[in-house]
Structures are given as C-alpha cells and as structure tokens.
Amino acid sequence: MNDLSEVLYTSDELARRVGEVAAQIDADYEGREVLLVGVLNGAVMVMSDLQRAMKSHVQMDWMAVSSYGSGTQSSGVVRILKDLSMDLEGRHVIVVEDIIDTGLTLSYLMSNLASRKPASLEIMTMFRKPEAARMDVAVKYVGFEIPSQFVVGYGLDYAGRYRNLRDLGILAPHIYA
C-alpha cells in the first residue's frame, strides 16, 4: 500500500517489541493474574498480540470512550460508550492503549478506573508521542516512543481506515488532500 510516506516499524519489529513487553509483564506480575483492559478500537491489535505473547494467566475486558469537546481539541472529559463487563475490585489491571498523544483522555479514564478499587492499576501503550511527557499519569510500559506525526496501522486509523496495516507508518500527505 503506497498510502504511507514512511514505515516507522515493520510488523516484525512490532512483534519483537510486544514480545519484550509481554516478558516484562510476566516477570513483574509473577504469581498474579492480570486483567488487560483494552480501549477500543485502536488497542485491538496490541491487545491480541500482547496476550498471546504472555506466558502467565491473563484475562481481558474492553471499554469504548469518546472525548467530549469541540473539534480536534480534547477536553479531557470522557464519555463512556461501552463500559467494562468485569468488576475491577481486587484485580491487577493493566490498561492497554494504542497510542498516547496528550494523555488527556487516559488521565480521566485512570481516575475513573482507580475509583473501582483494583488491587493495582498500570498502563501499557504501544506508542507514545513527546507531548505525553506532560501527563500527570505514570505509564509503566511503552512499546515505542515516536515523533509527533500522524501515524496509522497496527490498529491506528485515519477516518476509520488503515487499522489493518501490519506496519506502523506515517500517512502520505496526498491522502489528506
């Protein structure tokens, strides 16, 4: 597909990195069962790969959220479109995200989830942009730090498309035109 101007990470590189993060989670949570909470839709690919790369018992659940606010400016206030099926109380929860840009949505989500009394609560994101450094929430697991450019593939979309690309890349300018 020539809709990308540049491939940042190939599917092989993504798989290798997910394997490393999975091994780290296995080690950190030894003897404890983890509940992965995926944020739809972007986290679909990383959730699927991360779980299969993990060796310990793991469960999964999903949430869908949308940011309130006008246009492209995220207000940081989140509407829950689909809530979790499971009760978080006493569980070791890791929120799985595709990408963190400003982190506004995630900050709100984390305080919401923390109020449900999980035994522990951490974040895994596949990609993180520099802007996220200003976030007040600590992110324990990061796949790749990427530049401030609009990327697609590996679950990430532009207007609903490109989630199914196996590589992560920068969308070619002619696509926006």
H or E stretch at 83: none
Tell whether residue 150 is a contact of ligand 5GP (CB under 6 A): yes
Q: Where are the beta strands (DSSP E) in the chain?
A: 4-9, 34-40, 58-67, 78-82, 92-100, 120-128, 141-145, 151-152, 168-171
Q: How far is the CB of 91 from ligand 5GP (least distance, A)?
A: 23
Q: Which of the choices Mg ion, ligand 5GP, none does residue 102 contact, using the CB cut-off of 5 to 8 A by kind?
A: ligand 5GP
Q: Encoding tokens for residue 95?
A: 């929120």
Q: Encoding tokens for residue 104?
A: 């506004």
CB within 8 A of 17, min separation 6: which ones? Answer: 9, 143, 144
**Is 167 among the catalytic positions?**
no
160: left (phi over 0), alpha (psi -120 to 50) or beta: left
Tell whether residue 101 is a contact of Mg ion (CB under 5 A): no
Compose the 155-174 pattern: x for residues touching Mg ion by CB under 5 A, - for all others: --x-----------------
Q: How far is the CB of 27 from ligand 5GP (least distance, A)?
A: 27
Q: How far is the CB of 76 from Mg ion (least distance, A)?
A: 14
Q: Which of 3, 26, 28, 101 is labelled catalytic? A: 101
Q: Which of the choices ligand 5GP, Mg ion, none does residue 152 contact, using the CB cut-off of 5 to 8 A by kind?
A: ligand 5GP
Beta carbon nearer to ligand 5GP, 144 or 158: 158
What is the binding site for Mg ion (CB under 5 A)? 39, 42, 97-98, 157
